Chains A and B, each alone.
Chain A
Amino acid sequence: YSFFEGRPTWPEYHRDLTYAFLPDNELSNTTKEVFTRAFERWAAVTTLTFTETDSYYEADLKVAFYTGDHGDGEPFDGVLGTLAHAFSPTSGRFHLDGAETWVAEGDVTKSSTSSAIDLESVAVHEIGHLLGLGHSSVEEAIMYPTISAKTRKVELASDDIQGIQELYGANSNYTTPPSSSSPNSHQENTSNGGDH
């Protein structure tokens, strides 16, 4: 794991964070639930909490789908290529490329579209950035920078957990998994049918 330059974090007095979706995107509840699950994965291992709010402009974390140049100097490039980006604490901006074929539900590995991208996988990664993690060289880690189409990878790896707990401490309910677990267990290539 790694951190952004200067190791920015959400301040100690501000660890209960709110998130909201750009109203113009008119996301369905199914899509919003994907992000909720992604936030919960990080909340489960840290002292942070995440609550959805309707007030986009007052939310700590702002989720928005854009295409092409959207004004932050990091234009999106159409299908595949760059999928999303997120800013370090305490910016809270989380942008996804609206040109991608995002899959919010169902088994992405069986998608009939060769460019299908699993939304939750990307959401878990970008939330890591919002919280202060940089990229990791550990291929099993969520914070590894690349993800292939039709792939699902949503489980935090020990590398991700060690990194985020170094920044915020551990959730009191979190227990370290047994060391015998295979690194491959972090890669999930099956349906996201509510087993998490």
Chain B
Amino acid sequence: RIHPNISPTPPWQVPNDTAKGAWDSFKNFTGCRPGQKSDGLSKLKDYFKNFGYIPDSQHNFTDDFDDELESAIKTYQKNFNLNVTGELDDKTIENLMKSRCGNADIVNGTSTMNSGKPASSNSSLNFHAVRH
């Protein structure tokens, strides 16, 4: 599945391009809010567990949009500089569906990302507001 120079690859050598991404089904949860129940929501909880947003100790997830899921979504939104709503809004779902590195964002409850810091605060260019 490694294509040297994909542009001229003949169609018969291109793999099934209609294949769905692993997380395309998350699109069904758009607009889902705390207190609701949605078929397959447990898979989203598995996703959050996989990337450290829900503790490893949790098992047998339900399809309920519970407090734990809301908390996980809020932390995720902080890490990815999204609006922290705790809801599965369009932008959050769009981000969740993107392909990504398999390494966790949070290890042992500690975020390895700079939770919620806007990109500009990490920049060495950010020199304003110096107090003397």
Contacts and interface: CB of A to CB of B under 8 A. Distances in A.
A48 interface: no
Contacts of B5: 103-106
Nearest to A81: B22
Interface string B112-128: 11111101001111000
Contacts, number: 168
Interface of B: 1-7, 9, 11, 14-15, 17, 19-23, 79-81, 95, 98-103, 105, 107-108, 110-117, 119, 122-125
B101 A135 contact: yes
B112 A112 contact: no
Given A31-B2, A112-B7, A137 B80 contact: yes
B107 A111 contact: no
Interface of A: 1-5, 27-28, 30-31, 65, 74, 76-86, 98-108, 110-117, 119, 122, 125-126, 129, 134-140, 145-149, 158-159, 162, 179, 183
A82 B81 contact: no
Contact of B122 (A5, A80, A113, A159): A159
Given A4-B107, A138-B122, A145-B105, A116 B100 contact: no
Contacts of B116: 137
B44 to A, nearest CB: 13
B2 A82 contact: no
B22 to A, nearest CB: 3
B2 A135 contact: no
